Structure 1
């Protein structure tokens, strides 16, 4: 195996933000950045590759105070567009500080500032810097990293090229309800009466006559058949919340038939927790839900995605970390598609208030079915085209390309007409465009 190239960084700055962003950059490019005065790390031989940050010299990167813990002035956030349309900010006399740009995006710096939450308490794409300046669809962190890699190779022509990655297609699903009509108890009866009152006679008749295997939400078998045919591995996040909130629509107690489905999926898919709507305000509910899904799957669960994508920093992530969760897959928006943190690569969450990198690994996504249909009003075909456009921007950089879907979106009465056909076509076209199936470690 080829050893990882080591690049020494000469700087007087020892803030954890700089150490964190250099770790991110190294993970992306396939290099290892080491501070010059970390004498326990270095041999006595002179370095082959040395750069500076925060000083002068021929190989010094631009330096902005953001990475020493100072708040940026508003003028610093006015983007300057490169000829290819890539925005940069945090200007310095030597040019934009791309390390500061990366930290700003990945740390979700702006989400720690005052903002107006939506009705579910969320920070929205419309309020974000990327949304307001029109670059949400671009994986800007990957692009900034590539520019830094290009700069390093100009300085050091014998430096090995950055790591290459393939674009890995990863379908993921939030299972709020495994059945639309069955195992619903009083909620199912209320839904039938509501259909009648609205004059939706056919839906009411179908609700009461159908068998569980014909339920419009019962699509996991079809999905797994599709995944096998395309060579894909899926991830499912299960809502197992207790009653008490109308947004948590899952049956409770969890039916034995659902448990059987979950256990059968263990052999072919990844599974995690979909914490209930109230869990972010009530940590004791998260603890109970985590214990319940562990009992259902007969193993510990370490991954999650927030119901309704209810993510408030730093509280939500601290809570997940405190309850033993190691991965979160909520890093995306409900009101628009694109890269909330500017990257598709998993990264350790940085707690900005406590100024520390944590062990909680964040897995971003760029597109959700509800966003495409309800917020953007796209047809199934146009939704597929938007997804392929996101993938095309990412293809030169590679890495995971997760999609977030719900099993309910395949029901014509609740999702898209021909939603299944459009979805299967989109997955097939993404693979034809150059993506490869994601393979879990």
Structure 2
């Protein structure tokens, strides 16, 4: 166990040390404000305060972990080997940066509480982030810093047995609409038919009726393929089904349709199933509660995981609504159009409520790549290169790679050509040696 001496044990200090030491490195950690207890401890130990006590392992503390609420934090980015860091504390410390304060800033999403420009859906965009602006979005810096900290500890405490973790994957299959044409109801089918006619989309019109009459396979119905891939993988996929009411933003299947219910139950036999919340449930806890009850009745289990529609997050309200409804995991923390690490980490972490200054029980599982972000690169060869680069970043810190693909990504649509191969690269990456 690592004992940390500090002048004040705050919720922020406990939160970030537990993430870096326990979740990332697998080392248990405890805290003390008593020098005599610190001296008596005969295993891993360090001081985290303003002044070094003697010649112990020492990290000079920044003020942010001893504050409450938000303040105007000055951030200067520096190079640190092959990565970047901030909150430089000088060479007298055992490591040159206060990685605990820097990690807290990224994990708590401190910057998302500060004034920023949102996109048309009201989302915090990658271009607004400190990581994007300073060119370290592509690295899981919190985990990289943690391993630099571990290397420094090993240097001072070589006899200690340090735990080892291994690389993992958690593929997400996002299902905003299970079918293109099937189970859409008379009015929507009629509306779609008229639209096809007036837009001269005769191929779409042909496919619509061939699918409805059962002569052709629905383009979005790729579930047999994905489940077959699941059967060959030791890692459980996580499907998020949209079951909210039809609206301007959400055009899924009616959750009362027997065929749709059967599909969700079938998928749940092989993979984990979560709720893709509707756009209006993001801000309305009563709608979220209704959708939660609806999916629990279908899967016949308590709902464990959610993903917000359009990857939109309103901090801290979105997460408070989850906590109130006892939803335990969120998979919204990422960027739709940019590959990278929104919270700086590829290790799931708990949501820290900056307003209430508490660590909550909600586990945030950030995703690092959405299929849409790969559309930016033109050739399949370039897509593979970009994908392998992000996989290698996660592998180097024995993290958990979380990619988001949609059910329609595996269709025969030309736009998604080659994406089955990309998905297989992800699945195979877990079998390779890191």
Same fold (TM over 0.5): yes
**1:282 CA displacement:** 1.4
2:403 is matched with 403
Alpha-carbon shift at residue 222 of structure 1 (Å): 0.9
Distance 1:321 1:53, change over 3 A: same
Worse-superposed segment, 149-158 or 284-293: 149-158
Q: Quote the residue 2:159 is aligned against.
A: 158
Q: CA deviation at 1:253?
A: 4.0
The answer as to 2:159 corresponding to 1:177 is no
Alignment partner for residue 240 of structure 1, among 243, 246, 259?
A: 243
**Larger mean Cα displacement after TM superposition, 307-316 or 164-173:** 164-173
Who is 2:111 aligned against?
Answer: 110
Residue of structure 2 equivalent to 1:92: 89
1:67 aligns with 2:65: yes
Of stretches 142-151 and 24-33 in structure 1, the one that deviates more from structure 2 is 24-33
How much has 1:431 moved relative to structure 2?
3.9
Q: Deviations over 1:366-409 (max 9, x none)?
A: 00012322xx3544543333221101111121132111011112
CA RMSD of superposed structures (Å): 2.3
Give the Cα separation in 1 of the matches to 2:177 and 2:215.
13
The corresponding residue for 2:31 is: 35
**In 2, Cα distance between equivalents of 1:337 and 1:308:** 16
Hey, what does 1:188 align to over in structure 2? 189
1:127-185 C-alpha deviation (Å, 9 max, x unpaired): 10101111111010100101111111222221223x32221122111111111011112
The SS at the match of 2:277 is: coil
Q: CA deviation at 1:318?
A: 0.5
> Is the aligned partner of 1:367 residue 2:369?
yes
Give the secondary-structure state (helix, strand or coil) at the position aligned to 2:326.
coil
Q: Identify which of 297, 300, 310 aligns with 1:298.
A: 300
Which of these residues, 7, 20, 24, is aligned with residue 25 of structure 1? 20
Cα distance per residue 1:243-285 (max 9 Å; x no partner): 3x22111122431111112112222110111110011121110
Q: Output the CA distance in 2 between the equivalents of 1:45 and 1:64.
A: 26
Q: 2:231: which partner in 1?
A: 228
CA contact (8 A) 1:395 1:434 kept: no
Matched, 1:11 2:10: no
Tell whether the 8 Å contact from 1:408 to 1:414 is kept in structure 2 after alignment: no
Q: How far has the Cα of 1:365 moved from its partner?
A: 1.1
Alignment deviations for residues 86-120 of structure 1 (CA, whole Å, 9 cap, x no partner)? 11111224432111111111111101111111111
Normalising by structure 2, we get a TM-score of 0.91
**Contact kept? 2:183, 2:259, Cα under 8 Å:** no
Partner SS, residue 4 of structure 2: strand
Q: Structure 1's 226 and 150: CA in aligned 2 closer, same or farther, altered over 3 A?
A: same
Match of 1:77 in 2: 75
Distance 1:152 1:44, change over 3 A: closer
Alpha-carbon distance between aligned partners in 2 of 1:25 and 1:284, rounded to the nearest angstrom: 36
In structure 2, the residue corresponding to 1:191 is in which secondary structure?
Answer: helix
- The 1:287–1:380 alpha-carbon spacing in structure 2 relative to 1, beyond 3 Å, is farther
Correspondence list, 1:416-431, <5 A: 416-420=416-420, 422-427=421-426, 429-431=428-430
The SS at the match of 1:398 is: coil
8 Å Cα contact 1:105/1:342 also seen in 2: yes
Alignment CA distance shift 1:214-1:31 (3 Å)? same
SS at match of 1:131: helix
Cα distance in 2 between the residues matched to 1:369 and 1:351:
30
CA distance in 2, matches of 1:241, 1:212: 29
Instruction: Please list every run of 5 or more consecutive structure 1 residues that lacks an aligned counterpart in the other structure.
Output: 1-5, 436-441
Deviations 1:11-68 (A, max 9, x none): 11222111111111222112122112489xx899643232111131322112111111
Mapped partners of 2:216, 2:322: distance in 1: 35
Unaligned runs of 5+ in 2: none
Counting matched residue pairs gives 421
